[in-house]
Amino acid sequence: LSRFISPEETREFTAALREVIERGATRNARLNPRSASGEVIPTSLNASALRDADGTVSYTHLRAHETDS
C-alpha cells in the first residue's frame, strides 16, 4: 500500500476496513492514492461485508471510484 497511499492514509484505509468488519459497511471513505507516475487520484471507497451463519466475515466487497476532488 505504501507505494500508492501515504502512511496516514494507510491508517485511514485500515480504519475503514475495521469499520467494515465491525459494522458491516463503510461509505465514502476518502483516499488519495497515487498512480504509478505519481499523480494523485482523489478516490471514494465504499465497502461491505457478508457474514456466514456463525457471524464470521466470509466475503468483502470493495468499490473505489475517482472523485472530482
Average pLDDT of 46-64?
Answer: 95
Q: H or E segment at 59?
A: strand 57-66
What would the pLDDT profile of 2-44 be if each residue is shown by its tens digit?
778 889 889 988 999 999 999 999 999 998 998 889 899 999 9
Structural domains of the chain, with CATH: 7-66 (3.30.450.20)
Encode burial over 7-41: b for 16+ CB neighbours within 10 A, e otherwise: eebeebbeebbebbeeeeebeebebebeeeeeeee
- pTM (2 decimals)? 0.76
